[in-house]
Structure 1
Amino acid sequence: MSKEQVNNPLHGLTLEKILVALVEHYGWAQLANVIRVNCFKNDPSVKSSLKFLRKTPWARAEVEQLYLKTFQ
């Protein structure tokens, strides 16, 4: 295991698992209120959201931070 991952609480979690857990917990509407991105507001789906989050580092960081605040 590399030293970078020793204290990483997201190690072993995929972005898809993180997103699905947040959607199950908050629902799309509440998630769109917490993190203001259009892919959560307009016709949301896991597939389209993952595509956006993988291309947009700031949005991915917000999703990861929300996951940590919610589930830890």
Structure 2
Amino acid sequence: MPQSKKDLRKAKQKENAAAGVVYQKKEPERMAKCQKCKLDFRATKRNVELLSHATAKHSDSTFTDCFPGEVHE
């Protein structure tokens, strides 16, 4: 009985791992915490959600006050 595609892929990955070639799984999501209200947000490349939160919820402070170390474009 022939192997399924899933079994063939696992066997190939096992061979590659033995040879020292290891494939990385997807990176975990990077999270940012608002320093004012302590809510967690998903940090993205452009940080649009973080910027909208900082301007809508905390209009008295700046983006960097809410999320120090984060950059928005």
- Same fold, judged at TM 0.5 (above): no
Larger Rg: 2
The answer to which structure has the higher strand fraction is: 2
- Higher RCO (C-alpha under 8 Å, 6+ residues apart): 1
TM-score normalised over the length of structure 2: 0.28
Normalised TM-score (structure 1): 0.28
